[in-house]
Amino acid sequence: MAREFTRVGVVGLGTMGAGIVEVFARNGVDVVAVEISEAALARGRATLTRSTDRAVAKGKLAEADRDALHSRVDFQVGLDALHAVDLVIEAVPEHLDLKQRIFAELDRVCRPDTILATNTSSLSVTDISVATHRPQQVVGLHFFNPAPVMKLVEVVRTVITATDVVDDVEALCARLGKVDVTISDRAGFIANALLFGYLNHAVSMFEARYATREDIDVAMKIGCGLPMGPLALLDLIGLDTAYAILDTMYRRGGRDRRHAPVPLIRQMVTAGLLGRKSGRGFYTYEKPGSPKVVPDEQTPATTQPATDGASGTTGVGGGTGPAAVTRVGLVGVGALATGLVGAFAMAGYEVVSVDGDVEPSAGISEAVRASLDEGVARGDLGAADRDTALARITWSATLEQLADVDLVVEAVAEELSVKQALFARLDGICKPGVVLATTTASLPVIEVAMATQRPADVLGLHFPDPTTVRQLVEVVRTVRTSAEATVTAQAVCTALGSATVVCGDRAGFVVNALLFPYLNDAVRMLEAGYASVDDIDHAMKLGCGYPAGPFAVLDAVGLDVSLAIQRALYREQREPGLAPAPLLEHLVTAGYLGHRTGRGFRDHTGR
Ligand SMILES: NC(=O)c1ccc[n+]([C@@H]2O[C@H](COP(=O)([O-])OP(=O)(O)OC[C@H]3O[C@@H](n4cnc5c(N)ncnc54)[C@H](O)[C@@H]3O)[C@@H](O)[C@H]2O)c1
């Protein structure tokens, strides 16, 4: 029989503690909620009130239930109030000496049978436990932010934690409606070990002005389907907390430079820019504690490029306004080219599709027709729209037909020599001022641009997910790309219905540079035997709200493709932490490439 927890204590009512109080009180458990001062107690109470009022307003909590929830919480200053609780969860700032002091004090104040849990993100639970005389009753209970919403709890068992204590807290998690994964005491456990390198890297991109804060966040939200972008997430976590977590992970986790906090984080903490809780972090909020972002000096002007396709233009040569684009040339025969021909035609452009000149003919016209037919069958477009779109397409077997287009997008084989030869030919065929775009995912765009005499007109258009070309495009600017070419490309992509982000010409651009190292880290974690494929996928889905865990993503993308991207990132940055995980290399060598071959990290045969 699992132990009954009828009264628990929560120490520290900040970003996490207030949410943890809510989780318990919502589930019928009495809570003694403790803070260090009356002022901090009032802040904690206000956070709980705001959160439950929001739940009532959204219809997720009845008013009577909210009142009952509040009646279960006893707000107190000082740890002495915890003398009669069954379990304490500590959620004070991420500093070992502070947590050790609190645990020593809890050991003195609490009943001998009370279980003591820490919500630490990165500190050693073992180090915290030895500050007490009951280390076998100390466990990590790592909730995720926001605690009332995120389903995951990481239960951290040290080498000395008693088995029945682990069993009891696991049963408690189930009673709270949470899903737990039980793991040993390693820096960052599962989720933060995979998350914080990514967050830190996003800050370094922002610090280096590689892309704007909005573009970095939009790229990861739309490009990967994440619930929020990395900079918005750091604001939610709190930059002081994030700094402490990174600092600890760097020191405990093998001094991986990717965890050394980016200097900007420290500067922002010093300046009091802590994120939502202080009203300003990477973004500015309506007031401290508010989730509502308000415009500030970094907010981009709302003047969007033309949005109505072929007709919406402001003329060539008008400063940095977009050039007129009515005719688009597409070179290539694969899935991306097929998707793009259909998408441009649907958006109202005249399209010239070149099939069979650069690459062997692959019947792209049938493929485009089939994909538009599928759209009609799904009810996404009408038969008349399909026919109008098809009538806008000219099928050509020679590049010479591109002499009068306003934009060329190439989606041929991912080989530098092939692309360079193509761009050299386009240079001789296309009229001056035309934007020439490559869809390369991994080659330096500047190498392609320099095959022409007009590198200012060349840029990258990277579609992170070729199956949904309309969702996100990374507009890649080289050191030679003109502002006009960039805004023209942005305007066209907006007309396609895609979100656009502008970034520099570095391996992986924004999305892949941030995504693949995280996937590679997940493989390393698996390889180290720390957690299983299922536990790691669960942790990222339920703890961070990701639409799919890293192994599901790797199997879908293809392990060979993932390895090639990771190798390109490693080659460019020479960062030891980016070296492809040996397990990934071995699986590729073994022919386990994911869905495509029926087996990758999981076996997909017969499912
Ligand atoms: N912020 C997150 O997203 C997140 C997520 C999971 C886990 N955590 C972990 O939760 C813990 C708390 O982080 P946070 O972000 O909520 O911090 P926070 O700074 O928002 O809140 C900490 C609270 O602890 C209180 N406090 C400080 N000293 C105290 C004492 N002696 N007695 C009682 N209360 C005291 C402070 O007044 C403050 O309200 C950390 O260990 C952190 O790593 C944070």
- Reported as a single tens digit per residue, the pLDDT across 31-60 is 999 999 999 999 999 999 999 999 999 999
154 a catalytic residue: yes
pLDDT of res. 480: 98
The full 3-state SS of 264-307, as one line of letters, equals HHHHHHHCCCCEHHHCECCCEECCCCCCCEECCCCCCCCCCCCC
Q: How far apart are CA 243 and CA 281, in angstroms?
A: 13
Nearest to 165 by CA among 140, 186, 190: 140
Ligand 1, atom 8: closest residue by C-alpha: 121
Ligand 1, atom 39: closest residue by C-alpha: 14
Q: How far apart are CA 342 and CA 370, in angstroms?
A: 10
Give every residue of the chain whose pLDDT is below 50, as ranges: 303-318
Does 180 sit in the ligand 1 pocket, CB within 6 Å? no
pLDDT of res. 467: 66
142 a catalytic residue: yes
DSSP letter string, 135-147:
GGGEEEEEE-SST
Give the phi and the psi of residue 331 in degrees, each rounded to 5.
-115, 125
Q: How many A from CA of 90 to the centre of ligand 1? A: 8
119, 122, 142, 359: which one is catalytic?
142
Q: Tell which atom from ligand 1 comes closest to the C-alpha of 236.
A: 3
- Residue 379's region, left for phi above 0, alpha for psi from -120 to 50, else beta, is left
Does 132 sit in the ligand 1 pocket, CB within 6 Å? no
Ligand 1, atom 18: closest residue by C-alpha: 14
Does 20 sit in the ligand 1 pocket, CB within 6 Å? no
Q: How far apart are CA 292 and CA 274, in angstroms?
A: 15
The alpha helices in 361-444, defined as continuous H runs, are 364-378, 383-391, 416-429
Chain Cα centroid distance, residue 62: 33
350 a catalytic residue: no
Ligand 1, atom 11: closest residue by C-alpha: 91
Q: How far apart are CA 448 and CA 31, in angstroms?
A: 63
Nearest to 279 by CA among 234, 235, 227: 235
Does 278 sit in the ligand 1 pocket, CB within 6 Å? no
Pocket-testing residue among 41, 121, 249, ligand 1, by greatest number of atoms within 8 A of Cβ: 121
Q: Please, are residues 30 and 5 in contact by the beta-carbon 8 Å criterion?
A: no
Does 120 sit in the ligand 1 pocket, CB within 6 Å? yes
Does 121 sit in the ligand 1 pocket, CB within 6 Å? yes
pLDDT in tens, 476-493: 999 999 999 999 999 999
Q: Tell which atom from ligand 1 comes closest to the C-alpha of 13.
A: 39
Nearest to 95 by CA among 129, 123, 137: 123
Q: How far apart are CA 349 and CA 250, in angstroms?
A: 51
Q: How many A from CA of 202 to the centre of ligand 1? A: 24
Structure tokens at 12: 């520290």
- Alpha carbons within 13 A on the beta-carbon side of 455: 13
Does 245 sit in the ligand 1 pocket, CB within 6 Å? yes
Q: How far apart are CA 135 and CA 156, in angstroms?
A: 13
154, 359, 410, 474: which one is catalytic?
154
Query: Hunting for tokens 């999305």 — which residue is that?
Result: 511
Structure tokens at 230: 């990395």
pLDDT of res. 455: 98
129, 145, 192, 482: which one is catalytic?
192
Q: Tell which atom from ligand 1 comes closest to the C-alpha of 37.
A: 37
Does 114 sit in the ligand 1 pocket, CB within 6 Å? no
Helix (H) / strand (E) containing 345: helix 335-346
170 a catalytic residue: no
Nearest to 215 by CA among 470, 444, 504: 504
pLDDT of res. 418: 96
Q: How far apart are CA 43 and CA 13, in angstroms?
A: 8
Q: Give the chain's radius of gyration (CA, Å).
A: 27
> Residue 285 class from Cβ within 10 Å (0-12 exposed, 13-18 middle, 19+ buried)?
buried
Q: Please, are residues 351 and 328 in contact by the beta-carbon 8 Å criterion?
A: yes
51, 119, 121, 200: which one is catalytic?
121
Q: Please, are residues 530 and 253 in contact by the beta-carbon 8 Å criterion?
A: no
pLDDT of res. 302: 67
Does 90 sit in the ligand 1 pocket, CB within 6 Å? no
Helix (H) / strand (E) containing 336: helix 335-346
